[in-house]
Structure 1
Amino acid sequence: MTTRATETPGLLLRHPDGQTFRFDPGALCLELLATGGPGEYARFEVLTGPRALAAWAAESRLPPGLRLAADDAGAAAARGLRDALWGVMAARAHGAAPAPAGLAAVNAAAAVPPLVPLIAADGTRAWAPGEAPVAALLSTVARDAVDLLTGPHAHRVRECATHNCALLFVDTSRPGRRRWCSMERCGNRHKVRTHRARRTDDPTA
């Protein structure tokens, strides 16, 4: 489950083990990956239908107020793009070449007209009136992926350093030393393991 945290950047993810933690992957396209995925990631599935897709869009880093004309086919298309993005982004994180089929799926989604933003009367960013088609949402996500993978932070797309966590993020920090999906979860677990190992090595500690 994903929930937008209003007070700080990032999503609130609920792991199947019951823990809830904050995760900011640094890009819209990587937020989509937190909804599930192919193969072993299917147990994290969130995009179960049109309502779930609309909820994800509202919880994402997109400006609020988007009205989405979602249906079952649109939710299936979102899952398809997400699964393709998993392969493309994971390949980037590991320095490998992405599968041509994955790139083709991302490029095909990006070729569709994206969501149409506008400036509201109060000066904030808003969306064009009416319901937006799912294809426009997916185009916006795919174009975000194109910008990320062809931009200055492409080499900073990384997988969480914890051996049993595959969450992907882009490190946009100035020092570029981010290792964990979340300090609340994997970063803290690493600290605990390190502390226990030191106590084991030093009986007097």
Structure 2
Amino acid sequence: MILRSHTGAKYRFDPGALCLELTTTGGPGEFRRFEVLHTPADLAAWVARSRLSPTPDLDIRQVEVEAARTFRDALFRAATARASGVEPQRGDLDVINRTAGHPPLTPAIGPDGQRTWTATATGTQLLATVARDAVDLLTGEYAHRIRVCSGERCHLVYVDTSRPGRRRWCSMEHCGNQHKVRALRERRDEKG
């Protein structure tokens, strides 16, 4: 995904899981100020940027956008709890499970051999697909590798799929680079 920092700089961010891509659209509490899911078109635009490409034909209703925000907030809290070594709240897991309980998008192989989707899908099917990915992440082999970026003002959530399992930053070109620049300045100031 291509994200934009608070300064306007663009950078690449790979959260390592489809479900965590949704957490870049806003969040609960203090993260509400970053909300971008207001209309069905906003949710469709997120899908177009996600790893669900090619984008399925979607028929999204406003109530499904509201459900997307509720699910996203529950996922954000559950993932950050897991990153902190704490068990997620039962209510958040209930939201994730309820969302995952609906029929998902149905993939197919197109005439060109590429993935496509069988029919126009609802927002509920879209959310079920993302929620099933969340269930797989939160219960799978990488559940212990869910992390929150170590950047000073960054709260992006990702799953560390690196072989050594030592990823600290949402993006080396953004938060990792900022950390290196700060550390270099501190070393120069100590010598100066």
| Distance across 2 between alignment mates of 1:139 and 1:115 | 8
Task: State the TM-score, normalized to the length of structure 2.
Answer: 0.97
Give the conservation status (yes or no) of the 8 Å contact 1:16–1:44: no
Quote the residue 2:89 is aligned against.
99
User: How many residue pairs were aligned?
Assistant: 192
Alignment-mate amino acid for residue 168 of structure 1: V
| More displaced 10-residue stretch of structure 1: 64-73 or 88-97 | 64-73
CA shift digits 1:36-55 (9 cap, x unpaired): 01111112111111001001
Deviation at 1:62, TM superposition (A): 0.7
Structure whose residues are more often helix by fraction:
2
Give the conservation status (yes or no) of the 8 Å contact 2:47–2:55: no
| Distance across 2 between alignment mates of 1:85 and 1:152 | 18
Give the conservation status (yes or no) of the 8 Å contact 2:109–2:116: yes
Quote the residue 2:104 is aligned against.
114
| Distance across 1 between alignment mates of 2:52 and 2:30 | 28
Quote the residue 1:80 is aligned against.
70
Task: State the TM-score, normalized to the length of structure 1.
Answer: 0.91
Deviation at 1:63, TM superposition (A): 2.6
Structure 1 stretches lacking a partner, 5+ long: 1-10
Deviation at 1:177, TM superposition (A): 1.4
Q: Does 1:157 align with 2:146?
A: yes
Give the conservation status (yes or no) of the 8 Å contact 2:58–2:122: yes
Structure 2 stretches lacking a partner, 5+ long: none
CA shift digits 1:116-139 (9 cap, x unpaired): 00111121111012x201111101
| Distance across 1 between alignment mates of 2:181 and 2:26 | 27
Query: Which 4+ residue blocks in structure 1 deviate beyond 6 angstroms?
Result: none
Quote the residue 1:187 is aligned against.
176
Give the conservation status (yes or no) of the 8 Å contact 1:12–1:22: yes
Quote the residue 2:7 is aligned against.
17
Give aligned-pair identity as a percent. Answer: 56
Using CA pairs below 8 Å that are at least 6 residues apart, which structure has the higher relative contact order?
2
